[in-house]
Amino acid sequence: MIRRGLALLLVGLLGGCMQATLAPSSNASLTPRDRQLLAHTPYAQASIPETYRRHIVDYTRKEQPGTILVDTNARYLYYVLPGGKAIRYGVTVGEEALAWYGVATVGRMAEWPDWIPTAEIQARLGPYPKRVAGGPANPLGARALYLYEGNKDTLYRIHGTNQPEYIGQAISSGCIRMTNEDVIDLVNRVKLGAIVVVLPPGRSA
């Protein structure tokens, strides 16, 4: 399976404009805790449409390698690679009135983080417990990247999900959701301090 995935990736790279679906995260990228928790998820495994699965694609914008760009309109997150390429992931984005956009940095990353609902979320969607322990039932999923403006936490995150069936839709409270397997893959690539560009509604990459 791994060999087949690598072969598909090689064909895509040689094909120029062709896109190649990346093989799912191998066991080497998962911790023992990841394997244990992802084997017993309390939600059904979603069938992600092909367009929202992980791909290597051509990338013509000017962001530097290592940058994250979120195309809110198209429901894609790009991790910029050298050589005019990027890894494109399908995501869930915020509802239009709740969507955050701008330029931030990755100020912190966490593995199976606890979720602390904000006062706004408690008022709009609650009541929730003050803290929800990390795990497969947690809305933040397997990983979270915390977005900062300077030294200030924006309270917006790029994170996993316990609702993978909504990948490709705009239903979140402003955060960017990825499948747990994809957010693990992304965190394994991203460095602290990486630039995150979230395009405003109406603009596309």
State the catalytic residues: 159, 175
Phi, psi values for residue 141, rounded to 5°: 65, -150
> In sequence order, what are the residues at sequence separation of 6 or more whose Cβ sits closer than 8 angstroms to the Cβ of residue 180?
38, 136, 141, 142, 143, 160, 161, 164
Phi, psi values for residue 183, rounded to 5°: -70, -30
User: How wide is the angle at C-alpha 96 spanned by C-alphas 100 and 192, nearest 5°?
Assistant: 25
Q: How many other β-carbons are positioned within 10 Å of the β-carbon of residue 16?
A: 7
